[in-house]
């Protein structure tokens, strides 16, 4: 798989994982947890961006990619 395509796939995976998590928290009325999930999604995507730019393996650092 081409590196750019892998990067896009991993970003989509992170977004899908956290969108599900955010919706679950919001539906349960746990808005603080939903905000926490948004924070982790942003940090995970920033880490993927850094790894992509620096030519490192695209592993991220959170559960979304495991």
If you search the block for the tokens 């942003």, which residue do you land on? 42
The pLDDT assigned to 48 comes to 94
> How far is Cα 16 from Cα 22, in angstroms, rounded to an integer?
10
> In the prediction, which pLDDT does 31 show?
79
Tally the C-alpha atoms within 13 A of residue 51's C-alpha that lie toward its C-beta. Answer: 19
Distance CA 21, CA 6 (A): 23
Cα–Cα distance measured from residue 41 to residue 12, given in angstroms and rounded to the nearest whole number: 11
* Distance from C-alpha of 26 to C-alpha of 14, rounded to nearest angstrom: 18
> pLDDT, tens digit, for every residue of 13-65?
999 988 888 888 888 888 788 888 888 889 999 999 999 999 999 988 866 67
pLDDT in tens, 2-17: 999 999 999 999 999 8
């Amino acid at each position: 798989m081409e590196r750019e395509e892998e990067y896009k796939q991993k970003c989509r995976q992170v977004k899908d994982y956290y969108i599900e998590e955010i919706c679950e928290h919001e539906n349960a009325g746990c808005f603080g947890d939903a905000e926490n999930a948004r924070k982790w999604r942003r940090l995970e995507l920033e880490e993927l961006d850094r790894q992509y730019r620096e030519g490192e393996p695209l592993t991220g650092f959170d559960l979304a990619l495991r």
